[in-house]
Copies of this chain bind each other. A is one copy, B any other.
């Protein structure tokens, strides 16, 4: 069985860990969002790719959901002593090694997809991890500050401002010019079906879909998604702030309607949201309700298993 998954960070990583447990023999390709990438201290950080890689490779901090277990912060403390910013972005020493190696490999001329492959040789995530594109795409958020309207890098809005300032606009800068990374379109075309894990529909899945060619390749597939919204609130992160920016309600049904039946064939919602099962605005999308909290690997595996079963059932 070949499965291709579009992935953001923590939610996707936990879902993928469940998917691997549920269908250990499946050939899984993960297309990771790179719109969150940025370069604090000149280090090329790929938060979503790394969260997936560390989680599936057994190196993740379980408490945080991102970053490394057993992390220390000697380098960051020193950079602060130099007065070098950004002071608001926490990078651990173990994590920094990944970015130092990535920086060197990129400087040697390797594309991000080849760099990611090299890093995965160590972590052995058990999936093929691809960046959505080797070309730079940067998610920018336009906010209204006291000093006027300002366009911020996503991380500055998300991490420094905790998404507390309303976003007026969210834009994937560079997406229109980006090409899918090698293997991305093939993985979408060759898969038995495509899954959307419970990732942020705007800044994770939405940004991946903004790379020309990807949305069309996804739409040609059987697609089953898992709602990142439970009971009208994001399970994790601040997806509500992102949905508000694009005028979509924070509800499991509204997110599915946003993707639409042209893209989505099946949609898993939590039991709290079972009214979505018969929602008229979701005509053309097969909606099922079940428990969606990924409390541990076993729970995540059951959710992944339900998504796989629904995809096989709906397969065109």
Partner-B contacts on A (CB < 8 A):
41-43, 72, 74-79, 81-84, 93-94, 96-98, 100-101, 103-104, 107, 119, 121-122
- Is B78's CB under 8 angstroms from A98's CB? yes
Query: A42-B103, A42-B104, A42-B107 are known contacts. Are A97 and B83 too (CB-CB below 8 A)?
Result: no
Contact A43 B74 (CB under 8 A): no
Task: Find the residue from A82, A94, A121 having the highest chain B CB count within 10 A.
Answer: A82
Q: Flag if A82 contacts B119 (CB, 8 Å).
A: yes
CB contacts (< 8 Å) of A119 on chain B: these are: 82
Known: A43-B100, A84-B101. 17 other contacts (CB 8 A): A41-B101, A41-B104, A42-B107, A72-B74, A74-B74, A74-B93, A74-B97, A75-B75, A75-B94, A75-B97, A76-B97, A78-B97, A81-B122, A82-B98, A83-B122, A84-B104, A93-B93
A42 touches B84 (CB 8 A): no
Cα-based distance from A72 to B74 in the complex (angstroms): 8
> How far is it, in angstroms, between the C-alpha of A78 and the C-alpha of B92 when the chains are bound?
12
CB neighbours (8 Å) of A43 from chain B are 100
Task: Tell me, in angstroms, the Cα distance from A251 to B82 when the chains sit together.
Answer: 42
Contact status of A79 and B93, CB under 8 A, knowing A42-B107, A74-B74: no
Closest CB of chain B to A302's CB: distance in Å?
A: 33
Report B-chain residues with C-beta under 8 Å of the C-beta of A83.
Answer: 121-122
Q: Residues of B contacting A97 with CB < 8 Å?
A: 74-79, 81-82
In angstroms, Cα B100 to Cα A104, docked, is: 12
Q: List 25 A-B contacts (CB under 8 A).
A: A41-B100, A41-B104, A42-B104, A43-B100, A72-B72, A72-B74, A74-B74, A74-B93, A75-B75, A75-B94, A75-B97, A76-B97, A78-B97, A78-B98, A79-B97, A81-B97, A82-B98, A82-B122, A83-B121, A84-B101, A84-B104, A93-B93, A96-B100, A100-B100, A103-B103
Q: Find chain B residues with CB under 8 A from A101 CB.
A: 41, 79, 82, 84
Smallest CB separation, A73 vs chain B (Å): 9
> Chain B residues near A84 (CB, 8 Å)?
101, 104
- Given A119-B82, A122-B81, A122-B83, residue A72 in contact with residue B93 (CB < 8 A): yes
How far does the alpha carbon of A155 sit from the alpha carbon of B261 in the complex, in Å? Answer: 62
Q: How far is the CA of A100 from the CA of B97 in the complex (A)?
A: 11
A123 CB to closest chain B CB, in angstroms?
Answer: 9
B-chain residues with CB within 8 Å of residue A107 when the two chains form the complex: 42
A78 partner residues in chain B, CB cutoff 8 A = 93-94, 97-98
Q: How far is the CA of A97 from the CA of B82 in the complex (A)?
A: 9
Q: What residue of chain B has the Cβ atom nearest to residue A103's Cβ?
A: B42
Q: Are B103 and A74 in contact (CB under 8 A)?
A: no
What separation, in Å, do the CA atoms of A287 and B121 have in the docked complex? 61
Cα separation A212 to B74 with both chains bound (whole Å): 40
Known pairs A74-B72, A74-B93, A93-B72; A100 contacts B122 (CB<8 A): no
Least distance between A119 CB and chain B CB atoms (Å): 7
Note all chain B residues with C-beta closer than 8 A to A77.
97
